[in-house]
Amino acid sequence: MTEIVKASLENGIQKIHIRAEKGYHPANIQLQKGIPAEITFHRATPSNCYKEILFEEEGILEPIGVDEEKTIRFTPQELGQHEFSCGMKMQKGSYTVVEKTRKSLSLLQRFWITSIFTVPLVILMIGMSTGGISHQVLRWGTFLATTPIMLVAGGPYIQSAWASFKKHNANMDTLVALGTLVAYFYSLVALFAGLPVYFESAAFIFFFVLMGAVFEEKMRKNTSQAVEKLLDLQAKTAEVLREDNYVQVPLDQVKVGDLIRVRPGEKIAVDGVVVEGISSIDESMVTGESLPVDKTVGDTVIGSTINNSGTLVFRAEKVGSETVLAQIVDFVKKAQTSRAPIQDLTDKISGIFVPAVVILGIVTFWVWFVLLRDSVVVLGASFVSSLLYGVAVLIIACPCALGLATPTALW
């Protein structure tokens, strides 16, 4: 029986790694409907058969170099078994889309819950700075407001960090989870020990990181809506010359060289060259030009534009995926599924930055508590203070700027 490997759900995204070498491993995976998926392929063979990854039903074709990792992103919608393959379709795998196993909070729901509990934190901090709230109220108030945020917002990041740790990897989620957990549990101990607490640091880290994730998700949804609107522009049928008569045929039956008649007010079905008639055409939906463009014999016409005045007969030159509109849709889909160079740079930096920060935090604690112990009067610190300095390194280094600025710039 063929083994089907389920994608793991990390921070609201289905993730799975596939190795391309003498086939795909795993070759059969399971995804949940309606949840964004990230499938990372690692090409471990120089065979040219694996130089491209094809998800035909999703309209995705991506190149991949030798010993390179390529992440394919889409949101599965159609239930059942679907196919992915190399560009030559010689090596194939499958992904089975099933219903969601359980209902979980969406990214936007987690952001709004976090925002609601962040408001009392702001009020407490303002009250403390103006002298209207005592230290004791501030300490317990920040604890009560931060705990729900840790449970709702922190769960997916902690799961993602743990999954990366088991694979001996480190990403931005690792540092977010580490910084917030250390801040929260240190503050929890400090709450009962009468020491300063830093609950609000963990809460605001999650707030800003979730804000960046919401911006990124909104950008992806806007792109999907743009693709749908572009597809709606396409004509569904064409009046084609067949055996000396013009007949209505589905668009997918139009061939290069066919003569197509377009009456006033109708959409031009495919790209072609005018062979008869004079008219003006509204090309604004494709070119952005607000004024109609006059067309006569020998001029080119673009599919999905609107014929305004006269009747035209044109010869089909480009059909299917070769039309201007189809290429625009393809470019938009590629832009949606591909990653900006700055995002790849962010991931590379995180892979080095995370372990470096952890080491630096440990070194900070060790320097203050061990090396400077003999000169405690001048520079040294107690165990608690040394631990606080080490924790401060982790919290301050939490890359909220990377998590928020990158998706904000894309949005």
Report the pLDDT averaged over residues 389-398: 76
Bridge-based pairing of strands 28-32 and 24-25 is unpaired
Report the pLDDT averaged over residues 124-140: 85
Which residue in the block uniquely carries the two structure tokens 């939490």?
398
Tell me which residue of 201, 219, 166 sits closest to 10, measured CA to CA. 166
Q: Are 20 and 42 in contact (CB under 8 A)?
A: yes
The token pair at 213 is 């994730």
pLDDT of residue 380: 47
Q: What is the 3-state secondary structure (H, E, C) of 59-81?
A: CEEEECCCCCEEEEEECCCCCEE
Rg (CA), the chain: 29
Provide the 8-state DSSP code for 367: I
pLDDT of residue 149: 92
pLDDT band at 91 (very low <50, low <70, confident <90, very high): confident
Question: 375 vs 5, which has greater pLDDT?
Answer: 5
- The verdict on whether omega for the bond into residue 26 sits within 30 degrees of 0, i.e. cis, is yes
pLDDT of residue 47: 80
Letter for the amino acid at 384? V
pLDDT of residue 335: 66
Report the pLDDT averaged over residues 242-255: 87
Alpha helices (H) in 167-290, listed in sequence order? 172-193, 199-232, 284-287
Lowest model confidence (mean pLDDT) among 15-24, 156-165, 187-196, 201-210: 156-165
Percent of the chain with pLDDT over 90: 13
pLDDT at 181 over 50: yes
Distance CA 227, CA 96 (A): 24
Question: Which tens digit of pLDDT belongs to each residue from 301-358?
Answer: 998 889 988 899 999 999 887 888 888 877 776 666 565 666 667 667 767 777 888 8
Q: Over the chain, what is the mean pLDDT?
A: 81
Report the pLDDT averaged over residues 21-39: 87
pLDDT at 286 over 90: no
Distance CA 306, CA 309 (A): 10
pLDDT of residue 116: 93
pLDDT band at 102 (very low <50, low <70, confident <90, very high): low
pLDDT of residue 344: 65
Burial 260-277, CB ≥16 within 10 A → b, else e: bbbeeebbbbbbbebeeb
Lowest model confidence (mean pLDDT) among 37-41, 129-133, 213-217, 298-302: 213-217
pLDDT at 375 over 90: no
pLDDT of residue 374: 57
Residues 6+ positions from 195 with CB-CB distance below 8 Å: 189, 384
Three-state SS for 398? coil
* Angle, CA of 409, 410 and 411, to the nearest 5°: 90
pLDDT at 404 over 60: no
Question: 230 vs 41, which has greater pLDDT?
Answer: 41
pLDDT at 377 over 60: no
Distance CA 128, CA 135 (A): 7
Report the pLDDT averaged over residues 61-66: 87
pLDDT of residue 379: 47
pLDDT of residue 342: 64
pLDDT band at 401 (very low <50, low <70, confident <90, very high): low
Q: Are 124 and 105 in contact (CB under 8 A)?
A: no
Which range of 4-13, 198-207, 383-392 scores highest in mean pLDDT? It is 198-207
pLDDT band at 378 (very low <50, low <70, confident <90, very high): very low
